[in-house]
Each structure stands twice: as C-alpha cells, then as structure tokens.
Amino acid sequence: MTLPVNNAVPGAVRRLRHSLRAGGLAGAVAAYFTPEEDFAGLSFTCLGSNPRDAVTASDLLAVSLLDIAWRPEAVRELLDTSAATVSELLGAVRSDIDLWEASDEDLAAVDPLWDALLQMPGVGTATASKLLARKRPRLCPVSDKVVIGAVGVPGWTWEALRAFLQDPAARAEIEALRPPSAAVVSVLRILDVAIWIRHSHSRAASRIRRDSGIPEPGHNRP
C-alpha cells in the first residue's frame, strides 16, 4: 500500500535542508569522525562483528556508543531467547537498497521487526532505530528525539527523510559533508551526524558547534 500523504512533509524537508547548510558543518562532521575525539565516530559502523541477519554483542556495544543503555532482559532476548525470531525478521529487510530508493513495501518489511523490538524491555524508538541503523545502514535512519525534533513531523520522520534524500541535490550536499575518514559509512550515517551536530542540545554537540563556529540551535547569524 502507498503511504498516505502528509502535507507537512515538504515544509519539513525545506527546513531540514536549510538547517544543514550552516557554515562550519563539514569541519564539525570531520571532527566527529576523528579517532582522537570523544565521539562514536567510525566505531558505530565498524566495531566488531556485524553479520547481515543476526544481532551480535558487537551490535549492542556499537549502539551503546550512541547514548543507549541496554537492559539485561533485552540483551538476553536479542542474543538468546528471541535470537532466531529476530534473525528471521531481519532477514526479510533488504540490505541492498537506499532509503530514497525504497518502496513503501520495502519499508513495510521493517515493521514486524520494529514491533518486536519495541516489545522488549527498555527498548523504545531511539534504541530500535539505532539498532536498525547499525544492521541496515543504507535503509533505516536513526529516529531519536534529536532527529524527530529536527524533522518536525512526529510519526513521519522516516518519510520526511526519504523525501529529503530523493532530491539528488540534497544528497550531494550531504556527500559534501563527508570527510575522507568516513568513506565507509552510509549517507544516512553522515546525515544523522550532521543533524545531531546541528540540533542536539547535549554538551558534546554544543562543544563541537562552538569549536566549528556553528550557531546554537534556534539561532541564526545576522
């Protein structure tokens, strides 16, 4: 089935694109992927074992680098009691397609796994999306409170990001933020880092903005 139309999505796309044109953002993204800096950097993508259709301890550790704390019950479900079910559901999700090329059916294939994850103890939207972003980095964007707030259409975050990236010019602007050190990471990962830098109110994001000359969220240069 085709997703219903939300007339707020085009406006969200325009606001997001404008916010990611801040001067200094490319330097900030490069700093994020510098090994000497105290950020997740490449580790989220490259840490340990990441098989296509199974969740590993390395996956959980990588996700924890993005400010996620796993409850013991969820760890046991993912790695033991529900591992076979999770593997089967994960296997139904394509790994060979980018979000902007994905059909509604491709995205709908994520829903059963998404629902299963949200039923696990302590697993909410941010945790589920970050695990999916680790397992399907080309298809599944992070949708934590920073990304949801930046996009500004709750419940339509993935659709808005898909619409944003369907514009080749927008993808080119995201690629222009990619430092050589991040050659192996997906476009969605570069976008997520850029959104975090631009919109997060965390101390770490504030520091990297200050060091890169980027205005704080909600402030524009005169």
In DSSP notation, 69-117 reads ---HHHHHIIIIITHHHHHHHHHTS-SS--GGG--HHHHHTTHHHHHHH
Please compute the mean of the pLDDT values over residues 65-75 and round it to a whole number: 98
Residue 164 has pLDDT above 80, yes or no: yes
Residues 58, 49 contacting (CB under 8 angstroms): yes
Gap between the Cα atoms of 110 and 31, Å rounded = 32
Residue 33 has pLDDT above 90, yes or no: yes
What local confidence, expressed as pLDDT, does residue 7 receive? 82
Residues 157, 99 contacting (CB under 8 angstroms): no
Q: Report angle CA 165, 189, 75 to the nearest 5 degrees.
A: 125
Residue 145 has pLDDT above 80, yes or no: yes
What local confidence, expressed as pLDDT, does residue 1 receive? 36
Residue 216 has pLDDT above 50, yes or no: yes
Q: Which of 42, 15, 21 is nearest to 179 (CA)?
A: 42
Per the prediction, the chain carries an average pLDDT of 94
What local confidence, expressed as pLDDT, does residue 43 receive? 97
Residue 128: both structure tokens together: 């589920």
Please compute the mean of the pLDDT values over residues 35-59 and round it to a whole number: 96
Q: Which of 188, 193, 177 is nearest to 39 (CA)?
A: 193
Please compute the mean of the pLDDT values over residues 57-67 and round it to a whole number: 98
Residues 189, 45 contacting (CB under 8 angstroms): yes
Q: Which of 57, 25, 63 is nearest to 43 (CA)?
A: 63
Gap between the Cα atoms of 9 and 153, Å rounded = 7
Who wins on pLDDT, 5 or 105?
A: 105
What local confidence, expressed as pLDDT, does residue 185 receive? 97
Grade residue 6 by pLDDT with cuts at 50, 70 and 90.
Answer: confident
Residue 222 has pLDDT above 70, yes or no: no
Please compute the mean of the pLDDT values over residues 4-32 and round it to a whole number: 90
Grade residue 217 by pLDDT with cuts at 50, 70 and 90.
Answer: confident
Q: Report angle CA 40, 43, 46 to the nearest 5 degrees.
A: 155
Residue 32 has pLDDT above 70, yes or no: yes
Gap between the Cα atoms of 134 and 59, Å rounded = 7
What local confidence, expressed as pLDDT, does residue 5 receive? 59
Gap between the Cα atoms of 159 and 148, Å rounded = 11
Residue 179 has pLDDT above 80, yes or no: yes
Grade residue 39 by pLDDT with cuts at 50, 70 and 90.
Answer: very high
Cα distances (angstroms) measured from residue 74 to each of 51, 64, 194 = 19, 13, 29
Residue 189: partners with Cβ closer than 8 Å, 6 or more residues away: 44, 45, 133, 137, 182
